[in-house]
Amino acid sequence: MKTRSVVIHTGERFEVPQGIQRIDHRSTHGWQLRYAGTRLYSDGSNGARASLESAKKELARRIATLPAPARLQRQPSGNKSNDLPVGISGPVVRQRPGSHTMDSSLSVSLPRYGQTPLRRSVFIGTQNTYTAERYLEALAKAITMRSEAELAYQRAATKAKRAAAREVLTAAAPRARGKR
């Protein structure tokens, strides 16, 4: 998890983890948590250091209990010309070299966290064996493959987010530095 140095209106400097923003506007001074919703931790009478610690504790709790935000596409794009789910396209019809019959398959994009997605084909049938039932069976298989890959992606993203957060959020409490 990334951190950055933030200088607040009093001149104090803090190391702030990703997911927490500083709000200094007119009479509002505090730290805003932005992870699975927002919450403002006002400096109030306890000061910026105490409010930042409260925000960091809540950030750690949310990261430990909630799945990491995934950047997977959840809805088909508006330009998609068929009603297939996200990550599935086709049917692709082709004739392999040396073959006299055409075959069709669905193409499935399998996301992998931190890696490029895999592309897999799910065979439907040849021009002689293609049926609506075989298409529906292949579609069900493709949907299952995509769902399992999305679940694995989500687990890996959550695991990585929690590991990165442990390093940053369990580090020594930030020390305010002198005014600059």
pLDDT value of residue 93: 93
pTM for the whole structure: 0.72
Q: Phi and psi for 101 in degrees, rounded to 5?
A: -115, 150
Mean pLDDT by 10 residues, the chain (180 residues): 88 92 90 93 90 93 87 77 88 89 95 94 94 96 96 93 81 48
If you search the block for the tokens 């931790």, which residue do you land on? 41
pLDDT value of residue 179: 47
What the block records as the tokens of 129 is 């064996």
Dihedral in degrees, nearest 10, Cα atoms 153, 154, 159, 164: 90
